[in-house]
Amino acid sequence: ATLESDLRQAIHEGQLQLYYQVQVDRDRRPVGAEALVRWMHPLRGMVPPAQFIPFAEESSLILDIGHWVLDEACRQIAAWSHHERTRQLVLAVNISARQFKQPGFVEQVAAVIRKHGIQPARLKLELTESIALEEIGVITAKMHALRSELGISLSLDDFGTGYSSLSYLKRLPLDQIKIDQGFVRDMTVDSSDAVMVKTIIDMAHNFDLEVIAEGVETAAQLELLEQYGCVVFQGYLFGRPVPAAEFEAHL
Ligand code: G
Ligand code: G
Ligand code: MN
Ligand code: NA
């Protein structure tokens, strides 16, 4: 079988699963999670997204996967809304550029929110700078509809690795930017990465955006990030991506 037919089957036979990685505030309190898809292949075992998402993005498969992820994430938000310790969490979902650009994307998100009866404020979409390759007016209109009309929040993922300019950042209706983990990884040993991180944090605050650092693995990284004014964190230091039951047990 080809990867494509395998993956098509995976979606329909329930082989995809979401893992959840905690996001914490300055007091190390859980404030949210990022949903990360995994493929539980019957023969190959757990296949990480890096091995099938880029492939899926070359075809319309990413639209099916994206829709499944959104539906499953909203189902999880609904389940969490019944429990004291999870009801305040905001769940972030990765959205491919192709999925975002799909006509009817806003309506799809609205329909999934309605289906599960969740509060829109519990859902966050992570977009990447590659969406900015489309016409700016189209993107901002879509983002505005998601944010102001539906009431969900928007984060710009992998920030610093793409090509978007400051003027884009000024115009895009965003709530948060995510500092790419590549900068965080080396910030305590490479001063140019440290400058990058500090500059992104300052810029985010000047644009009134929340900033989250991802890939935080060490206490030294955390200390420097706090010194630079970052107050929301994600990374192995706080928790790895895990299945929902394990995530809930560790809260
Ligand atoms: O979980 P992991 O670090 O292996 O994820 C690797 C990459 O796969 C990340 O860049 C992440 O954004 C992407 N990814 C994970 N889950 C999803 C998903 O549900 N949809 C999309 N489009 N990308 C995802
Ligand atoms: O591109 P995106 O931010 O969506 O991808 C997040 C990816 O980063 C996931 O694959 C997740 O497993 C991974 N990740 C999360 N925290 C850490 C960390 O502390 N260190 C490393 N190396 N990877 C991490
Ligand atoms: Mn992400
Ligand atoms: Na990222």
**What pLDDT does residue 123 have?**
98
Residue ranges of the chain with per-residue pLDDT less than 50: none
Global pTM reads: 0.97
**What pLDDT does residue 228 have?**
98
Q: Is the CB of 158 under 6 A from ligand 2?
A: yes
**80-106 tens-digit pLDDT:** 999 999 999 999 999 999 999 999 999
- Alpha-helical (H) ranges within the chain are 3-12, 53-56, 61-80, 97-101, 105-116, 136-144, 166-171, 181-186, 191-206, 219-227, 244-250
Helix or strand run (H / E) with residue 179: strand 176-179
What are phi and psi for residue 151, nearest 5 degrees? 90, 20
Residue 217 tokens read as 């693995």
Which of 181, 187, 212, 216 has the most ligand 2 atoms within 8 A of CB, as the residue to mutate? 181
**What pLDDT does residue 115 have?**
98
Tell me, in angstroms, the distance from the centre of ligand 1 to residue 100's CA: 15
**What pLDDT does residue 124 have?**
98
